[in-house]
Amino acid sequence: MKVLLLAGGWSPEREVSLKGGEQIAAALKERGHSVTLCDPAKDFERLMDMAREHDAAFINLHGAPGEDGLVQAILDRVNCPYQGAGPAGSFLALHKAAARQIFRDAGLNIPDGVFLPRHPGPNWKPDLQYPMFVKSNTGGSSLHLSRVTNEEELYTALNSLFSMGEEAIVETAVIGREVTCGVLGEEVAGVSRPAARSRTIPDATQVKASIATRMPRLCFSERPSRYAFSLSLAVDFISIFQILLND
């Protein structure tokens, strides 16, 4: 099979994408596939033509334009198959403020937080408890993520984000145990559980979306799987979901 591997791009997560792309290319070639690298930062204007020449695309882009639905829309235009969510699901999951709204509407628990499309000014005081996490509304890979414990740290984090032209999400920190659930179509691929730690969930991108909820410690199979599937239905999304459990 001729596979068009999309990696790189122009988001702050470019280097993460390229490193992952190297591993994906090696794995595909080991299985007998022909792989062509497409870096949208260099090849974006040729993307449609390149897609027409391949059997399928493998998207390993982080942030825009690979997780905001743009690349997916272009590939759909030329009927080139690819893995993961379509344009709408990709955009809604990448945009944390939109994803929070959709999850809440679906009856799912999320951390307390606020969306800041512009700087709120020097006198703004959030109706949230410290510690809090400040993060880019559409960023991922924990880049530009700050844990703040007081007003001075809060404004330092906000000033940094807005100086880069970002929108911000501020959320309360959640102490719990994170588990990861894969969802493909209507099937949950299983649950994995890393070591317990304290954090809020920084990403709601195409490859990750998150929810904080209270579940009994022994329900690591049934309930997280059910919540992950509910998340995927909420944004019409096929990917990997991370859930933070409150013990």
pLDDT at 219: 37
Tell the residue number behind the tokens 């759909």, with chain if given.
Answer: 76
Name which of 234, 242, 237 is nearest 102 in CA terms: 234
CA distance 194 to 122: 39
Name which of 157, 234, 226, 162 is nearest 191 in CA terms: 226
Query: What parts of the chain have a pLDDT lower than 70?
Result: 141, 185-186, 189-247
pLDDT at 174: 87
CB 94 within 8 A of CB 86: no
pLDDT at 77: 96
- Relative to beta strand 168-172, strand 132-136 is antiparallel
- pTM higher than 0.85 for the full model? no
CA distance 191 to 246: 16
DSSP state of 129: P
CB-based burial label for 63 (10 Å; 0-12, 13-18, 19+)? buried
pLDDT at 42: 96
Q: Name 3's Cβ contacts closer than 8 Å, sequence gap at least 6.
A: 28, 33, 34, 35, 36, 54, 55, 56, 57, 58
CB atoms within 10 A of CB 35: 18
CB 138 within 8 A of CB 112: no
pLDDT at 234: 57
pLDDT at 142: 74
